[in-house]
Amino acid sequence: MTSETRNFEPISPDASPRFAEIATFMRLPRVSDPAEVDIALIGVPWDGGTTNRAGARHGPREIRNSSSLIRKVNPATRVTPYELCRVADLGDVSVNPIDLMDTLGRVQAFYQKVRAAGTVPLTAGGDHLITLPIMRALGRDRPLGMVHFDAHSDTWDTYFGGFKYTHGTPFRRAVEERLLDPKRTIQIGIRGSLYDLHDLDFAIEAGMRVITIEEFYKLGLDEVIAEARRVVGDGPTYVSFDVDGLDPVYAPGTGTPEIGGFSTFEAQQIIRGLGGLNLIGGDVVEVAPPFDPTGNTALVGATLMFEILCVLAQAVAAAKAE
């Protein structure tokens, strides 16, 4: 290992107990230059796209805190991401809490620097609108595929008299801006009452594979994983995990809960099933600590972030070996 490829390790629990020290994602070092890492863990503490119950701006801090519980080895896949590549905490994007359009620009500029360094971002949100400016940075020269976990399609058009940017619209905008290839997009867990029977028409007509929760349980996990792999193929693919895709018994601390969702264990197994795909980034969004008095949703968010980190690390290691 050369000095340029020095790996970062979580603080050892033998050196300092896991409840001690300043909280960073996975107890990793905090770095400021994305060129120092292969995978950057980033917070976007912003919920200005939330149309109903705000609070996801507090997500990154609580996810960092809960991530101190997470050890370094994935027990199911046997992956230790910190052995495969350089991973560290790149801090939070400097967002503007009172200006949505300014924040979209700030997030995009931050991720353009990350991408220019050749670094793969894994983000803790923030509400789901943050994925749009991330995709503006990552999907600029070729549209991305996406594995999208959510109760909602997030392909609504406008809100409140024609406003185009909310956490219910990012993937319609991403398709319109040719950042996202709808034919290489799969949405998993879709449910919840609609404004109108035609709410899902855009996603379906654009060619997205929409797996409602009814179909999810009819197909079973292995089929859902096979379908996700088939849809995204071997092109560059982003993983976006809205915690409201989970049943609210597992993740009550979120802005738009919908009953009848999948479980945390099912989510873990699907993410593990994405190993070997050409993954170029991911996020966990919509953890809203003000609605999370037990802290369990933040722990769920941190753990799913670790699961996504493990498959991203596999993808980075495979790309390096080529």
DSSP class of 258: -
Backbone torsion region of residue 39, taken as left when φ is above 0, otherwise alpha when ψ lies between -120 and 50, otherwise beta: beta
**Of 87-146, which residues contact Mn ion (CB under 5 A)?**
128
DSSP string computed for 110-159: HHHHHHHTTPEEEEEES-GGGHHHHHHHHSSSSPEEEEEE-SS------B
If one asks whether residue 181 binds Mn ion (CB under 5 A), the answer comes out as no
How far apart are CB 286 and Mn ion at their closest, in Å? Answer: 6
Give percent helix, percent strand, percent coil of the chain, each to the nearest 5.
40, 20, 45
How far apart are CB 121 and Mn ion at their closest, in Å? Answer: 18
CA atoms within 13 A on the CB side of 151: 22
Nearer to Mn ion, 64 or 167 (CB): 167
How far apart are CB 211 and Mn ion at their closest, in Å? Answer: 14
Of 175-183, 237-245, 294-302, 304-312: span binding Mn ion (CB under 5 A)? 237-245
If one asks whether residue 58 binds Mn ion (CB under 5 A), the answer comes out as no
How far apart are CB 191 and Mn ion at their closest, in Å? Answer: 10
Of 9-17, 64-72, 157-165, 244-252: span binding Mn ion (CB under 5 A)? 244-252
* Sheet of strand 87-92, all strands in order from the earlier edge strand to the far edge: 87-92, 39-44, 120-125, 279-285, 237-242, 144-149, 180-190, 209-212
If one asks whether residue 247 binds Mn ion (CB under 5 A), the answer comes out as no
**Position among 38, 47, 62, 154 found at the interface with Mn ion (CB under 5 A):** 154
If one asks whether residue 173 binds Mn ion (CB under 5 A), the answer comes out as no
**Position among 150, 199, 266, 292 found at the interface with Mn ion (CB under 5 A):** 150
Q: Distance between CA 237 and CA 54 in Å, rounded?
A: 29
If one asks whether residue 266 binds Mn ion (CB under 5 A), the answer comes out as no
Of 7-15, 37-45, 202-210, 236-244: span binding Mn ion (CB under 5 A)? 236-244
- DSSP-derived 3-state class of residue 212: strand
CB 56 within 8 A of CB 251: no
**Position among 47, 89, 199, 242 found at the interface with Mn ion (CB under 5 A):** 242
If one asks whether residue 244 binds Mn ion (CB under 5 A), the answer comes out as yes
Nearer to Mn ion, 244 or 307 (CB): 244
Cα-to-chain-centroid distance, residue 208: 18
- Closest listed residue to residue 175, CA positions, set 196, 147, 203: 203
Nearer to Mn ion, 85 or 129 (CB): 129
List residues binding Mn ion (CB under 5 A).
Answer: 128, 150-152, 154, 242, 244
